[in-house]
């Protein structure tokens, strides 16, 4: 087991920088998710930590040892990719143990480790099968077992679930997390799926264009986004954004007037801001309640235990998520409000959150 430290990492392809001066420290045992849009550099970072890609400058340390110039095989990492590429002519047992047999590990030791990993991943009944006789999810579990049996210091996963259907993804996600709770091996898991990141991570490192935009626990990232980009990237349905201005202690955007708790934000009278309202943080209220936003129901999406209601307010659409959606119909007048502690206010020019440091 090991810490991972990336210091001043830069990576360029043909003179074009894709990672710029990135610093990151991951403590022992932590499960970290690299999250961000396509092309932001998640796989490049992971591959540099694994040693599959050189850094242009900077250092990578694993377990306190500088491994920047070590081969992948000498870093103590095991990586699982999106495409699992099993050996088609080998059984599950042979696929999983191939690396250890080649390294000349003692037979009894291989058997011991094999039984440990296949029991964690529920692969015992499949040991003699060939890959073509298994589902995608089963094959991906074999690929995970093949990585786990090496008992690495660090696990690196690059979108290992993205070829699977939604239900299987959810199941394997839970299995990966359960496996981590047992083994506690330091893990980096790459995804561009924010829900997957929220559910599996101890800490999310949200990347944008080759740099870290914000890092924090799922709760910190969800409830205290440092920028509009983070606020917009996390959460489904997506956050509502409104252009507004600070006026007499309230944030005002057309007919919307939301009281601002004194001292919570760093704001000046008349300042132009962008407001962020999470659909799941709004509640239905009486039309005359303080801060009530009044509109008309446009669309209702039933999500089972709750529903997304899209309302027209001043000619634009705002969405909220409520359990009480069944008593609403299209065309109804509707009033809803956001609790002051859930309002987000961003600088219009920089996109940075204006939340006060000690709020
Ligand atoms: N071998 C390469 N040569 C040139 N450019 C590359 C190479 N590999 C990656 N890039 C560029 O580096 C940037 C980061 O790519 P990377 O694969 O790390 O993104 P990612 O965050 O993993 O995206 P995705 O979610 O699509 O997998 C992209 O702009 C990509 O085009
Ligand atoms: Mg990638």
Query: Tens digit of pLDDT for each residue in 210-238?
Result: 999 999 999 999 999 999 999 999 999 99
C-alpha distance from residue 139 to each of 104, 128, 188, 189, 344 (Å): 25, 13, 21, 18, 43
Minimum CA distance residue for ligand 1 atom 28: 39
Kindly report the average pLDDT of the chain as a whole number: 94
Question: Crossing angle, helix 136-148 and helix 92-102, to 10 degrees?
Answer: 20
Using a 6 Å cutoff on CB, does residue 41 contact ligand 1? Answer: yes
Using a 6 Å cutoff on CB, does residue 228 contact ligand 1? Answer: no
Higher per-residue confidence, 166 vs 153: 153
pTM of this structure = 0.93
- Nearest atom within ligand 1 for CA of residue 13: 4
Q: Which residues lie across from 243 on neighbouring strands?
A: 274
Residue 92: burial class (beta carbons within 10 Å; 0-12, 13-18, 19+): buried
Q: Residues with Cβ within 5 Å of ion ligand 2?
A: 43
Of the candidate ranges 17-26, 139-148, 345-354, the one whose mean pLDDT is the lowest: 139-148
Torsion of CA 194, 198, 204, 207, to 10 degrees: 10
Q: How far is the CA of 46 from the centre of ligand 2 (A)?
A: 9
Q: How many CB atoms lie within 10 A of CB 236?
A: 13
Structure tokens at 165: 């259907």
Is the pLDDT at 35 greater than 70, yes or no? yes
Using a 6 Å cutoff on CB, does residue 230 contact ligand 1? Answer: no
C-alpha distance from residue 72 to each of 51, 59, 79, 148 (Å): 5, 15, 10, 16
Is the pLDDT at 344 greater than 90, yes or no? yes
Question: What pLDDT sits at residue 67?
Answer: 97
Question: What pLDDT sits at residue 1?
Answer: 57
Using a 6 Å cutoff on CB, does residue 278 contact ligand 1? Answer: no
- Nearest atom within ligand 1 for CA of residue 36: 21
Minimum CA distance residue for ligand 1 atom 14: 41
Q: How far is the CA of 52 from the centre of ligand 1 (A)?
A: 14
Minimum CA distance residue for ligand 1 atom 9: 44
Q: How many CB atoms lie within 10 A of CB 190?
A: 25
Using a 6 Å cutoff on CB, does residue 113 contact ligand 1? Answer: no
Pairing mode of beta strands 154-158, 186-191: parallel
b/e per residue, 12-45, with b = 16+ CB within 10 A?
eeeeeebbeebebebeeebbbbbbbeeebbbbbb
Of the candidate ranges 164-178, 230-244, 278-292, 294-308, the one whose mean pLDDT is the lowest: 164-178
**If pLDDT is split at 50, 70 and 90, which confidence band does 30 have?**
very high
Is the pLDDT at 84 greater than 80, yes or no? no
Whole-angstrom distance, CA of residue 31 vs CA of residue 25: 12
Minimum CA distance residue for ligand 1 atom 22: 43
* Ligand number with the minimum distance to the CA of 14: 1
Kindly report, residue by residue over 43-67, the tens digit of the pLDDT.
999 999 999 999 999 999 999 999 9
Q: Which residues lie across from 6 on neighbouring strands?
A: 24, 60
Q: How far is the CA of 347 from the centre of ligand 2 (A)?
A: 31
How much of the chain, in percent, has pLDDT values that exceed 90? 84
Domains of the chain (ranges plus CATH)?
Answer: 4-232 (3.40.50.300), 237-347 (2.40.50.100)
* Ligand number with the minimum distance to the CA of 38: 1
Torsion of CA 328, 333, 339, 340, to 10 degrees: 160
**If pLDDT is split at 50, 70 and 90, which confidence band does 76 have?**
very high
Question: What pLDDT sits at residue 12?
Answer: 97
Q: How far is the CA of 43 from the centre of ligand 1 (A)?
A: 7
Whole-angstrom distance, CA of residue 339 vs CA of residue 359: 15
* Ligand number with the minimum distance to the CA of 15: 1
């Amino acid at each position: 087991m090991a810490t991972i430290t990336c210091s001043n990492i830069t990576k360029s392809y043909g003179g074009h920088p894709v990672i710029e001066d990135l610093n990151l420290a991951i403590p022992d045992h932590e499960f970290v998710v690299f999250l961000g849009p396509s092309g932001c550099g998640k796989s490049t970072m992971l591959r540099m930590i694994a040693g599959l890609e050189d850094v242009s400058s900077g250092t990578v340390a694993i377990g306190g040892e500088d491994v920047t110039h070590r081969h992948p095989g000498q870093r103590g990492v095991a990586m699982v990719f999106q495409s699992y590429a099993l050996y088609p002519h080998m059984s599950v047992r042979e696929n999983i143990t191939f690396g250890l047999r080649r390294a000349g590990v003692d037979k009894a030791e291989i058997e011991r480790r094999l039984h440990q990993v296949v029991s964690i991943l529920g692969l015992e009944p499949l040991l003699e099968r060939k890959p073509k006789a298994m589902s995608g999810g089963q094959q991906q579990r074999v690929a995970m077992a093949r990585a786990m049996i090496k008992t690495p210091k660090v696990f690196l996963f690059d979108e290992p679930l993205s070829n699977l259907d939604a239900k299987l993804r959810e199941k394997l996600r839970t299995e990966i997390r359960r496996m981590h709770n047992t083994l506690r091996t330091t893990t980096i898991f790459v995804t561009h799926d924010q829900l997957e990141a929220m559910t599996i991570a101890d800490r999310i490192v949200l990347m944008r264009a080759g740099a870290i935009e914000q890092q924090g626990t799922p709760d910190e990232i969800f409830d205290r986004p440092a920028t509009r980009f983070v606020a917009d990237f996390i959460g489904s349905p997506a956050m509502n954004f409104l252009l507004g201005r600070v006026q007499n202690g309230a944030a005002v955007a057309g007919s919307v007037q939301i009281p601002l708790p004194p001292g919570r934000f760093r704001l000046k009278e008349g300042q132009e801001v962008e407001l962020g309202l999470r659909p799941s943080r709004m509640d239905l209220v009486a039309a005359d309640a303080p801060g009530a936003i009044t509109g008309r129901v446009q669309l209702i999406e039933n999500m089972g235990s709750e529903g997304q209601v899209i309302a027209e307010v001043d000619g634009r659409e705002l969405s909220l998520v409520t359990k009480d959606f069944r008593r609403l119909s299209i065309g109804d007048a509707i009033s809803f409000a956001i609790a002051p502690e859930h309002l987000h206010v961003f600088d219009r020019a920089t996109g940075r959150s204006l939340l006060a440091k000690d709020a």
